[in-house]
Amino acid sequence: MAAPEIERLIRLLARLPGLGPRSARRAALTLLERREQLLEPLAAALAETAEKVTVCARCGNLDSSDPCGVCLDPKRDASLICVVEEVADLWALERSGAFSGRYHVLGGTLSALDGRGPEQLRIATLVERAGDPAVKEVILALGATVEGQTTAHYIAERLQGTEVSVTYLAHGVPVGGELDYLDDGTLSTALKARRPA
């Protein structure tokens, strides 16, 4: 058996997405064999990330400042809010360069099965932000899954009677934690072809 420190490292690595016990053991071994190039820089990066990176209280993005860089950037279009499920979706949209407004990260979807109601998601703060007269459009870039669409309809209903127009990404685009897998062109097209709720 390996030392308890190594066993602990393997157990933690195995909890990462895409890593089972076998690949976690290989990753741990690689780290230990490349102490200066990998293990020590990674340990420092983890400590620094844990200390500095926080959730933006306004939009739910992850950044080392709160409000985050996107919320603070005066060059971003304050009239557009793009609602996504996860930070990974925000990153995908940013990589595509197709969107220049601001974001709102819900932190998941409504799911009766998993006991996730509106209180578990950042919906109240979204409604509050949408009430700002500067905001003209809320784009719902949520998953094409049942949960994603249920969540989108719920939000559209909550925003009824406000001044903002609510739009969806072009139909049939798989989004919601899956924007990550789309190429930039598909994402841009889906954004341009958005339709009213």
Q: Pick the closest to residue 108 from 127, 93, 122 (CA basis).
A: 122
Burial (CB count <10 Å: 0-12, 13-18, 19+), residue 21: exposed
Q: Pick the closest to residue 76 from 61, 54, 86 (CA basis).
A: 61
Considering the rule CB under 5 A, would residue 93 count as an interface residue with Zn ion? no
Considering the rule CB under 5 A, would residue 105 count as an interface residue with Zn ion? no
The piece of 54-62, 84-92, 121-129, 178-186 that touches Zn ion (CB under 5 A) is: 54-62
Considering the rule CB under 5 A, would residue 59 count as an interface residue with Zn ion? yes
Among 10, 13, 24, 68, binds Zn ion (CB under 5 A): 68
Give the nearest distance from C-beta 67 to Zn ion in angstroms.
5
Helix, coil or strand: residue 83: strand
Residue bearing tokens 């890593």: 19
Give the separation between CA 147 and CA 166, rounded to whole angstroms: 18
Considering the rule CB under 5 A, would residue 106 count as an interface residue with Zn ion? no
Q: How many binding residues for Zn ion (CB under 5 A)? A: 7
For residues 24 and 141, which CB has a smaller minimum distance to Zn ion in the complex?
Answer: 141
Among 56, 123, 138, 166, binds Zn ion (CB under 5 A): 56
Q: Pick the closest to residue 135 from 21, 59, 41, 188 (CA basis).
A: 59
Give the residues lining the site for Zn ion (CB under 5 A): 56, 58-59, 61, 67-68, 71
